[in-house]
C-alpha cells in the first residue's frame, strides 16, 4: 500500500520552493480513512517505516512529536522510523477537530489502540511464520524476536506491502507503562531544527505551480453590502488579473503578492451603511438586555435561594470578561486549486474534515470532490481565520480557474477572525456566622450554541450556502464548582445573539467561568477572614485535587493568612493569589498561584511569577507539557492584563498590535511548574486547562496586594487606578 501514500515533496522550481502533493487514488484504491480501521491510522512499508495518519493536527504545540512517541512506543519501533501525516482528508481519519485539549486524550489514544492492535497482529503473523507460540516472542526495535534470542523478523517483512485489514481492537493488549522507553520522556520536538533555520514550510510558504495571489477586500462594516465596484481604480497596477465579486464578497487577484496588496488598497468600492453593533461603552447593558433563549442549569444542590436568604452574611458581585481575538502571529492563509472538477485546499485548519464539508456545501460540490490538506500555520488557539481563508481561496479558485493563494492582512485577521464572545457573570453567596459557605448561586450570560462549524465568511458575504447557528464552543463547562457547598445553583442563560461571530479561543468558557468562580470564592474567604487555600481545602473532597493543592502550597511556599496583606508601605504593593479547578470537573487538575506587583501611581500590574501545579495523568512528554503550560500562562496573562477588542457601531477598530496590544518581553512572568506524573493513569488534555486558573489568580493577587477587587478584564492601568481611587 506504500505506493498509494501521498508524499509531500519539495521541488526547487524557478527559484521558489513549490510544494507538490501527489494525487491520491479514489474509489476502490483509496486509502481507508474509516476511524475504526487500523489501516486508517497507520501503515508499515516493506522497509519497516511507519506512517501514522492523524486526524488531530499540530497547531504549534508539539503534539506531533507526542503522537510520534505514542506510536513508536506502542509499536516498539525507533522514533526515527515513524512519520506522522496530519489532517489530510484523503489520508487521515476524521478524529474530530483539534480542540478542547483532546489531541492526546482522544486522538492519541485512538492511535495507541491502532498501534496496539497492529502489534498484536504482527506477533500473530510472526508466530505463524516461525511456528512458535506468541508467548515465546517479543517485539523490539521494529521486529518480532524469539524471547530466547536469535533471528527475528522485521515488521516490514511481516506485513509486506499489504495493510492490516483489521478493526481497532479495544482489547488488544497495550504495553504496560512500566515498560515505556519513549513515552514519558522529554523527546526533543521534531520540528524545531527546521523552524529555527527557515527550512520549515508553514502554510504561508506553500506555493503550487501556476499559483496566483489574492487579497480579500472586506466590507468597512460587518453587515454592509457591496453596491458598486470601480474596476478602473486598479487597472494600472501591473500584473492585475481580476477583481472578483460574488455578492458582497470582493477580492483582488494578481500575479504577484505585492500586486494583490496594492490592488486591495487601491480598489474603490461603495458599500451600504451598516451600524448593527452595540455601543461598546454599553456592551454589558447590551448583553444583559439580550433575549435569553434557554437556561442550562449546570448544577443544583440543596435549595440555594432559601439558603442564601438564611445566610448570616450575603455577598454579591458581577464579573465580566471582554471580547477577545485569537491574534495568531501569522495572519491566516490558504491555497486552493480546482482541477478537473476536484478541489484541493491547503489549509492550517484545525478541522479539515469539517471544513471540507463546509466548502463543498458553499460551492455546491460533493464532499468527495474536495480534499483539504493540513499544513501548519502560525500558532492557533481555537477556531480563528484559517477556515475562512480556506473558504476565500476555494471560492477564488472557482472564480479564476487558477490555483489561488489567499493571505489575510493583519487587519483582516484582527477584524474578521471569529471572536471569543463577551461573558457576564452574576454571583451571590452566603456565609454563616462561623464563616462557612452555606449557599452559592451564579448566573452566566453567554451565547447559545456549542462547538460546531463556524460559518465561513466567504459563504456569508457571497450569499452561498452556510450554517446559520452560532458555534461559540462548549462554553458552559466549569460554570459548576469543584467544591461541596451545601447549596449550589449555577445557571447559564443562553443568549439569542452576541455582537460578533463567536468561536472558541483557548479555554473557551472554562476560562471565563473559572475566573468568576475563583475570584468570588476569594471574596468569600476574605469576608470570612479565612486563608484562601484553607477555605478551598475545606470544601474540596477529591483526594487528587487535595494532593494537587498540597503540591501547589509547597511549590509557591504559600503562607496561610487572610487577604489582603496588611501593612505595605511604598509605591509598589505585592500580593499573591490562588486559583484552582478540575477541568470540566472530569479531567485535568490545575492550581496556580500568581505573585503580582501593583504600582499604585501608574496602576500598572506586573505579574512577576506564576506557580502552576498540574496533574493531567500520564505525561507523554514532560518538556513538551511544560512548554505548553508556560505558553498557556503567559498568553493568559496577556489576555487578562491587556486585551480587549474595540469596535464602533459598524466594525472592529482594534485592527493591529498597537490598538490590540499583547504582552511584551519585559512584562512576561516567570512560570514555575510542578508536574504530577501518573504513568498508570489515562493521559488527559493539557492544551487549555492551565489557562483556566490564571485570570482569578491574578485578580486575587491584586486584591491581596491592594485590597481592591478587579472584576472586569482586562486589568488595565486605567482600571486599576480608578479602582484604587475608590478604596
Partner 1 sequence: MANTLALRVNGRDVEVHFDDPDMPLLYALRDELGLHGPRFGCGLGQCGACTVHVDGKPARACITPVSALAAGQSVLTLEGLGTPERPHKIQQAFIDEQAVQCGYCINGMIMQSAALLETQPSPSESDIRAALAQNLCRCGTHQRIVRAVARAARA
60 or 163: CB nearest ligand FES: 60
Exactly one of 201, 233, 465, 712 binds partner 1 (CB under 8 A); which one?
Answer: 201
Helix (H, G, I), strand (E, B) or coil at 467: coil
- Would you give the DSSP letter of residue 225? -
Stretch that binds partner 1, among 134-142, 177-185, 445-453, 651-659 (CB under 8 A): 651-659
- Return the bridge partners of 243, or none: 252
Inter-CA distances, 401 with 16, 253, 336, 337, Å: 22, 11, 10, 8
Instruction: Pick the stretch among 56-64, 359-367, 458-466, 468-476 that binds partner 1 (CB under 8 A).
Output: 56-64
- Name 16's Cβ contacts closer than 8 Å, sequence gap at least 6: 207
What number of helices (H) and strands (E) belong to the chain? 19, 26
- Under rule CB under 6 A, how many of the chain's residues touch ligand FES? 3
Question: Which helix (H) or strand (E) element contains residue 64?
Answer: helix 63-75
Number of amino acids touching partner 1 (CB under 8 A): 69
Pick from 204, 332, 507, 513: which binds partner 1 (CB under 8 A)? 204
Smaller CB separation from ligand FES, 63 or 430? 63
Considering CB distances under 5 to 8 angstroms, the limit depending on partner class, which of ligand FES, partner 1, none binds residue 221? none
Asked if 60 touches ligand FES (CB under 6 A), the answer is: yes
d(CA 398, CA 403): 9
Q: Which does residue 16 bind out of ligand FES, partner 1, none, counting CB within 5 to 8 angstroms by kind?
A: partner 1
Query: Does 329 interact with ligand FES (rule: CB under 6 A)?
Result: yes
Q: Does 236 bind partner 1 (CB under 8 A)?
A: no
Min dist. Cβ of residue 458 to partner 1 (A): 21
Quick check: 257 binds partner 1 (CB under 8 A)?
yes
Return the SS3 of 212: strand
Give all strands (DSSP E) within 448-565, no chain letters: 488-495
Beta carbons of 111 and 67 less than 8 angstroms apart: yes
How far CA 16 is from CA of 207, 397, 642, in Å, comes to: 8, 21, 40
Residue 188 found at the interface with partner 1 (CB under 8 A): yes
Q: Supply the minimum distance, in Å, between the C-beta of residue 155 and partner 1.
A: 28
11 CB neighbour count, 10 Å cutoff: 12
Minimum CB separation of residue 227 from partner 1 in Å reads 28
Site for partner 1 in 367-386 (CB under 8 A): 376-381
Q: Distance between CA 120 and CA 603 in Å, rounded?
A: 63
Q: What residues does 437 pair with on adjacent strands? A: 431
554 sits near ligand FES (criterion: CB under 6 A): no
User: Does 259 participate in binding partner 1 (rule CB under 8 A)?
Assistant: yes
Residue (60 or 420) nearer to ligand FES, CB: 60
Annotate 337-389 with DSSP letters as a single string.
EEETTEEEEEE--S-HHHHHHHHHHHHT--GGGEEEEE---S---BS-SHHHH
Is 623 a binding residue for partner 1 by CB under 8 A? The answer is yes
Partner whose footprint covers residue 675, from ligand FES, partner 1, none (CB < 5 to 8 Å by kind): none
Closer residue to ligand FES, CB minimum distance, 72 or 663: 663
Longest dimension (CA), the chain: 84
Q: 532 to each of 428, 523, 700, how far by Cα in Å?
A: 18, 9, 9
Residue 656 interacts with which of ligand FES, partner 1, none, CB < 5 to 8 Å by class? partner 1
Applying CB under 8 A, the span of 44-52, 122-130, 392-400, 406-414 interacting with partner 1 comes to 406-414
Among partner 1, ligand FES, none, partner that 197 touches (CB below 5 to 8 angstroms by kind): partner 1
* Interacting residue with ligand FES among 62, 311, 379, 714 (CB under 6 A): 379
Query: What nine digits make up the cell of 440?
Result: 452559592
Question: Which one, 58 or 337, has the nearer CB to partner 1?
Answer: 58
200 interacts with, out of partner 1, ligand FES, none, CB within 5 to 8 A per kind? partner 1
Our finding on whether 415 is near ligand FES (CB under 6 A) is no
**Nearest residue (CB) to ligand FES, 99 versus 583:** 99
Q: How far apart are CA 694 and CA 581, in angstroms?
A: 11
Name which of 60 and 97 has its Cβ closer to ligand FES.
Answer: 60
Q: C-alpha angle with apex 659: 657 to 665, nearest 5 degrees?
A: 45
Cβ distance 595 to 701 under 8 Å? Answer: yes
Cis peptide bond N-terminal to 57, omega within 30: no
**Interacting stretch for partner 1, rule CB under 8 A, among 80-88, 252-260, 308-316, 509-517?**
252-260
Rounded to a whole number of angstroms, the minimum distance from the CB of residue 657 to partner 1 is 4
Cβ closer to partner 1: 239 or 679? 239
Report whether 275 contacts 234 (CB < 8 A). no
What does the alpha-carbon distance between residue 451 and residue 96 come to, in Å, rounded to a whole number? 11
Q: Does 97 bind ligand FES (CB under 6 A)?
A: no
Find cell 468568576 and name the residue. Answer: 516
CB of 669 to partner 1, least distance (A): 8
DSSP 3-state of 218: coil
> By CB under 8 A, is residue 622 in contact with partner 1?
no
- The closest of 173, 166, 257 to 211, measured between CA atoms, is 257
Q: Is 140 in the site for ligand FES (CB under 6 A)?
A: no
**Strand 292-301 vs strand 342-347: parallel, antiparallel, or unpaired?**
unpaired
Closest contact distance (angstroms) between CB of 346 and partner 1 is 15
Applying the rule CB under 6 A, the residues between 708 and 727 that interact with ligand FES are none
Residue 171 CB partners (closer than 8 Å, separation 6+): none
Site for ligand FES, rule CB under 6 A = 60, 329, 379
Site for partner 1, rule CB under 8 A = 12, 15-17, 59-62, 188-189, 191-202, 204-205, 207, 238-239, 256-259, 261-262, 327-331, 376-381, 407, 409-410, 623-624, 627-628, 630-635, 638, 656-658, 662-666, 668, 670-671
Amino acid at each position: 500500500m506504500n505506493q498509494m501514500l501521498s508524499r509531500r515533496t519539495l521541488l526547487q522550481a524557478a527559484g521558489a520552493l513549490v510544494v507538490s502533493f501527489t494525487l491520491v487514488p479514489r474509489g476502490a484504491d483509496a486509502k481507508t480513512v474509516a476511524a475504526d480501521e487500523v489501516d486508517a491510522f497507520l501503515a508499515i512499508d516493506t522497509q519497516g517505516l511507519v506512517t501514522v495518519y492523524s486526524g488531530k493536527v499540530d497547531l504549534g504545540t508539539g503534539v506531533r512529536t507526542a503522537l510520534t512517541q505514542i506510536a513508536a512506543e506502542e509499536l516498539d519501533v525507533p522514533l526515527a522510523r515513524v512519520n506522522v501525516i496530519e489532517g489530510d482528508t484523503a489520508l487521515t481519519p476524521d478524529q474530530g477537530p483539534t480542540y478542547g485539549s483532546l489531541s492526546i486524550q482522544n486522538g492519541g489514544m485512538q492511535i495507541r489502540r491502532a498501534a496496539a492492535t497492529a502489534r498484536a497482529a504482527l506477533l500473530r503473523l510472526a508466530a505463524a511464520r516461525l511456528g512458535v507460540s506468541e508467548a515465546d516472542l517479543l517485539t523490539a526495535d521494529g521486529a518480532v524476536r524469539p524471547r530466547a534470542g536469535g533471528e527475528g523478523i522485521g515488521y516490514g517483512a511481516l506485513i509486506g506491502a499489504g495493510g492490516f485489514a483489521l478493526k481497532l481492537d479495544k482489547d488488544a493488549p497495550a504495553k504496560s507503562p512500566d515498560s515505556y522507553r519513549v513515552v514519558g520522556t522529554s523527546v526533543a520536538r521534531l520540528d524545531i531544527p527546521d523552524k529555527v533555520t527557515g527550512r520549515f514550510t508553514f502554510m504561508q510558504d506553500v506555493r503550487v505551480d501556476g499559483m496566483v495571489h489574492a487579497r480579500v477586500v472586506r466590507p468597512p462594516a460587518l453587515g454592509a453590502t457591496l453596491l458598486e465596484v470601480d474596476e478602473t481604480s486598479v487597472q494600472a497596477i501591473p500584473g492585475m488579473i481580476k477583481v472578483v465579486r460574488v455578492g458582497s464578497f470582493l477580492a483582488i487577484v494578481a500575479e504577484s503578492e505585492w500586486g494583490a496588496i496594492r490592488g486591495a488598497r487601491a480598489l474603490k468600492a461603495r458599500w451600504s451603511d451598516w451600524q448593527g453593533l452595540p455601543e461598546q461603552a454599553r456592551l454589558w447593558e447590551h448583553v444583559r438586555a439580550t433575549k435569553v433563549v434557554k437556561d442550562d442549569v449546570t448544577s443544583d444542590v440543596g435549595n440555594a435561594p432559601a439558603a442564601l436568604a438564611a445566610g448570616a452574611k450575603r455577598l454579591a458581585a458581577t464579573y465580566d470578561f471582554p471580547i477577545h481575538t485569537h491574534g495568531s502571529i501569522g495572519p491566516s492563509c490558504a491555497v486552493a486549486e480546482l482541477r478537473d472538477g476536484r478541489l484541493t485546499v491547503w489549509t492550517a485548519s484545525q478541522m479539515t474534515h469539517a471544513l471540507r464539508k463546509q466548502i463543498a456545501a458553499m460551492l455546491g460540490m460533493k464532499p468527495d470532490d474536495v480534499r483539504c490538506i493540513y499544513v501548519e500555520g502560525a500558532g492557533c488557539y481555537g477556531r480563528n481565520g484559517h477556515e475562512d481563508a480556506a473558504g476565500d481561496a476555494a471560492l477564488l479558485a472557482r472564480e479564476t480557474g487558477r490555483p489561488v493563494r489567499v493571505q489575510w492582512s493583519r487587519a483582516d485577521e484582527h477584524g474578521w477572525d471569529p471572536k471569543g464572545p463577551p461573558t457576564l457573570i452574576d454571583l451571590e453567596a452566603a456565609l454563616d456566622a462561623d464563616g462557612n459557605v452555606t449557599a452559592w448561586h451564579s448566573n452566566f450570560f453567554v451565547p447559545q450554541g456549542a462547538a460546531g462549524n463556524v460559518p465561513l465568511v466567504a459563504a456569508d458575504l457571497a450569499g452561498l450556502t452556510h450554517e446559520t447557528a452560532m458555534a461559540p464552543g462548549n462554553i458552559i463547562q466549569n460554570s459548576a464548582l469543584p467544591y461541596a457547598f451545601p447549596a449550589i445553583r449555577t445557571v447559564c442563560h443562553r443568549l439569542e445573539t452576541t455582537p460578533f461571530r463567536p468561536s472558541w479561543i483557548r479555554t473557551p468558557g472554562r476560562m471565563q467561568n473559572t475566573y468568576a468562580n475563583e475570584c468570588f470564592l476569594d471574596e468569600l474567604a476574605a469576608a470570612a477572614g479565612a486563608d484562601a487555600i484553607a477555605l478551598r481545602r475545606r470544601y474540596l473532597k477529591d483526594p487528587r485535587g487535595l494532593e494537587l493543592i498540597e503540591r501547589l502550597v509547597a511549590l509557591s511556599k504559600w503562607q496561610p493568612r487572610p487577604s489582603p496583606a496588611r501593612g505595605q508601605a511604598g509605591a509598589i504593593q505585592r500580593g499573591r493569589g490562588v486559583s484552582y479547578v478540575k477541568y470540566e470537573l472530569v479531567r485535568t487538575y490545575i492550581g496556580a498561584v500568581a505573585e503580582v506587583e501593583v504600582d499604585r501611581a501608574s496602576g500598572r500590574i506586573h505579574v512577576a511569577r506564576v506557580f502552576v501545579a498540574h496533574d493531567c495523568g500520564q505525561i507523554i512528554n514532560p518538556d513538551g507539557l511544560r512548554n505548553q503550560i508556560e505558553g498557556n500562562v503567559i498568553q493568559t496573562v496577556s489576555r487578562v492584563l491587556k486585551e480587549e477588542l474595540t469596535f464602533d457601531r459598524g466594525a472592529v477598530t482594534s485592527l493591529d498590535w498597537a490598538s490590540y496590544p499583547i504582552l511584551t518581553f519585559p512584562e512576561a512572568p516567570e512560570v514555575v511548574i510542578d508536574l504530577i506524573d501518573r504513568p498508570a493513569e489515562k493521559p488527559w488534555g493539557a492544551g487549555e486547562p492551565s489557562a483556566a486558573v490564571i485570570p482569578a489568580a491574578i485578580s486575587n493577587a491584586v486584591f491581596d496586594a491592594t485590597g481592591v477587587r478587579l472584576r472586569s478584564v482586562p486589568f488595565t492601568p486605567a482600571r486599576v487606578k480608578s479602582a484604587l481611587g475608590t478604596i
